[in-house]
Amino acid sequence: MAETFYITTAIDYVNGLPHIGHAYEKIAADILARHFKQRGKDVFLLTGSDEHGIKIQKTAQERGISPKEHCDETSVEFKKAWAKIDIDYDRYIRTTDEDHIKLVQWMFKELLKKGDIYKSSYTGLYCDGCEAFLSARDLDENGCCPTHQKKPQEIQEENYFFKLSKYKDRIIEHIKTHPNFILPEYRAAEILNQLENIEDISVSRSKKSVTWGIDVPNDEEQIIYVWMDALSNYITGVGCLEDKELFNRYWPCDIHMIGKDILKFHSIYWIGFLMAMEIELPKTIFAHGWITIDETKMSKSLGNVISPASLMEAFELQDADSIRYFLMTTAPFGKDGNYSDEEFKAKVNADLANNLGNLLNRTLSMLLKYFDGEIKDFAITDCSSEIAKLAEQTAQDVKAKFDSCQITEAIEKVLLLVDHTNKYVNDTAPWSLAKTEEGLKECAKVLYNVLETMRFAGILLYPVIPNISQKIYNQLGFEDIIKNIKLEELEWGELKTGKIASKETINPVFLRLDSEIAQDKKK
């Protein structure tokens, strides 16, 4: 059986509609999933929606519908958004799914039976944005939640609590002895600092405060609190309770892909739950940064929330490749990135149209002009040339970068190969070589080298820009579906003799974004 690779995203709270901040994470996870499929792994990608809690209850009340009806409608919008940007997930889980409700209640009962959950009265500071109780040391100098910039409410309730403090030392030890457990590595120090004063956490809420959630078993006055509910989706999604074969096949999770603002809940709360349940821990939790808009954090109140669909409409994009590419290259993955219309246009025009697309287009045009679009027998080169060695080395470098979730750096490796190939064309000047009979043979070899390098680039960039990569592959004369090509089979010399180009087949694989149209749409 193939080696497995299980990757999850955070499940999105369906209180609002999907925006490019949500998309950023889903694209990253999708790229990793596609890459490891290229490496022959049996991949499972889980995403979904978080559908319980007070905010959804209030939103549904304002709309005059039930919380479930609101969730049904909004989750469809998320699914549509992910289809539009080519997120190829294996399951879209909803916390209102029956198998998830059963699992959460089973988990609650097991922890109650073990004595790791107990009931107690509690007075605490509750942030409805985080849906979490905060301590005074969690707040900023103004007494506000640093994420949501509002003061938490003081709430007194009788709730069920999980003995998180019991697992504090084990969690600390695990983080210290597993350097890849929290990535980027510098995030681990933040979590170790938070663990110093960790307390037991509430895992239920009184129905006097919130009614929309999973009922606590055998207690009609309480619902199970959001973090036990939401975090457990990662084991529900691969059949923990109802499909042991599936669960044993994919668990433990290889990567939990999440935003930096919810790292505490994943690397402390979730790990405590799993330790208490005696379930193996995930291998890596990767906390990515945020996408800002014109250097400002996205906010509904500021009116600067951008959806993937509106971006595609504004720039009249046929597919989402340019959005996927830009979001993954705007900043090193893990750091905060920024979106602006001007940066978006400049980067995708320079990299996808001018650099990648133009290199393919002008090389195929020369092949058509000098050789009637045909790869000649005397054009075929072996893997001993400098450019062939660089192409094969790039494939190895890309794999190494993906192994540590360095998505941006992996893309940069391929772009460096494209840059080198552009320079190679300018240095060898095939248009000059073609002027003599002797030079014509050398010209054929140069064009072969360039086109074979483009094949490498298309395959290596497929996880990021699947539609453009398929066009590149087709224009090189291949009819295969590019996603079925395995990286272990990627070696120099697959481009064979024969006619591959004609006037009808040579088309730009990515059209430059029309700045005038974009500006009109923006206005």
What pLDDT does 151 receive? 87
What pLDDT does 32 receive? 98
> Average pLDDT in the 480-499 region?
94
Catalytic residue among 130, 240, 253, 443: 130
Catalytic residue list contains 383: no
Q: Is the peptide bond before 252 cis (omega within 30 degrees of 0)?
A: yes
Domains of the chain: 341-522 (1.10.730.10)
Give the pLDDT band (50/70/90) at residue 188: very high
What pLDDT does 300 receive? 66
Provide the 3-class DSSP secondary structure of residue 153.
Answer: strand
pLDDT of 335 over the 80 cut:
yes
Catalytic residue among 150, 244, 300, 389: 300
What pLDDT does 517 receive? 40
Q: Do residues 61 and 211 touch, judged by C-beta distance below 8 A?
A: no
What pLDDT does 522 receive? 44
What pLDDT does 301 receive? 62
Residue with tokens 């800002």: 292
Catalytic residue list contains 174: no
> Average pLDDT in the 408-432 region?
98
What pLDDT does 128 receive? 73
The CA–CA distances, whole Å, from 515 to 4, 136, 206 equal 44, 49, 54
pLDDT tens readout for residues 24-74: 999 999 999 999 999 999 999 999 999 999 999 999 999 999 999 999 999
pLDDT of 518 over the 60 cut:
no
pLDDT of 523 over the 60 cut:
no
Provide the 3-class DSSP secondary structure of residue 256.
Answer: strand
Give the pLDDT band (50/70/90) at residue 226: confident
For the residues of 21-47, what is the DSSP string, one character each? Answer: HHHHHHHHHHHHHHHHHHTT-EEEEEE
CA 104 from centroid of its chain's CA atoms? 26
What pLDDT does 515 receive? 46
Tell me the Ramachandran region of residue 7: left when phi exceeds 0, alpha when psi lies from -120 to 50, beta otherwise: beta
Q: Do residues 295 and 264 touch, judged by C-beta distance below 8 A?
A: no
Residue with tokens 């994919």: 250
pLDDT of 464 over the 60 cut:
yes
What's the whole-number average pLDDT of the chain? 94
Q: Is the dihedral of CA 329, 332, 337, 342 positive or negative?
A: negative
The CA–CA distances, whole Å, from 123 to 158, 201, 338, 430 equal 9, 12, 39, 77
Against a cut of 0.85, is the pTM above it? Answer: yes
Find all residues with CB under 8 Å of 61, minimum gap 6, and list them.
Answer: none
pLDDT tens readout for residues 261-290: 999 999 999 999 999 999 999 999 999 999
134 or 26: which leads in pLDDT:
26
Catalytic residue list contains 68: no
**What are the backbone dihedrals phi and psi of residue 502, each rounded to the nearest 5 degrees, phi first?**
-145, 170
Burial class of 441 by CB neighbour count within 10 A (0 to 12, 13 to 18, 19+): middle
Report which of 24, 7, 20, 18 is spatially closest to residue 50, judged by C-alpha positions: 18
Among 30-44, 141-155, 417-431, name the one with the lowest average pLDDT.
141-155
The CA–CA distances, whole Å, from 399 to 92, 166, 409 equal 27, 40, 11
Percentage of the chain surpassing pLDDT 70?
A: 97
Catalytic residue among 19, 37, 401, 471: 19
**What are the backbone dihedrals phi and psi of residue 86, each rounded to the nearest 5 degrees, phi first?**
65, 45
Catalytic residue among 26, 55, 100, 127: 127
Catalytic residue list contains 297: yes
The CA–CA distances, whole Å, from 85 to 127, 310, 439, 465 equal 33, 12, 46, 10
pLDDT of 298 over the 80 cut:
no
What pLDDT does 302 receive? 65
pLDDT of 447 over the 60 cut:
yes
Provide the 3-class DSSP secondary structure of residue 517.
Answer: helix
For the residues of 351-408, what is the DSSP string, one character each? Answer: IIIIIIIHHHHHHHHHHHHHHTTEE-GGG---TTSHHHHHHHHHHHHHHHHHHTT-HH
Residue 266 DSSP class? I
Catalytic residue among 148, 150, 244, 335: 148
Catalytic residue among 174, 283, 297, 347: 297
> Average pLDDT in the 450-469 region?
98
Give CA–CA dist 343/330, Å, rounded: 9
Catalytic residue list contains 496: no
Catalytic residue list contains 71: no
In the chain, DSSP finds a helix count (H) and a strand count (E) of 21, 19
pLDDT of 484 over the 70 cut:
yes
What pLDDT does 285 receive? 98
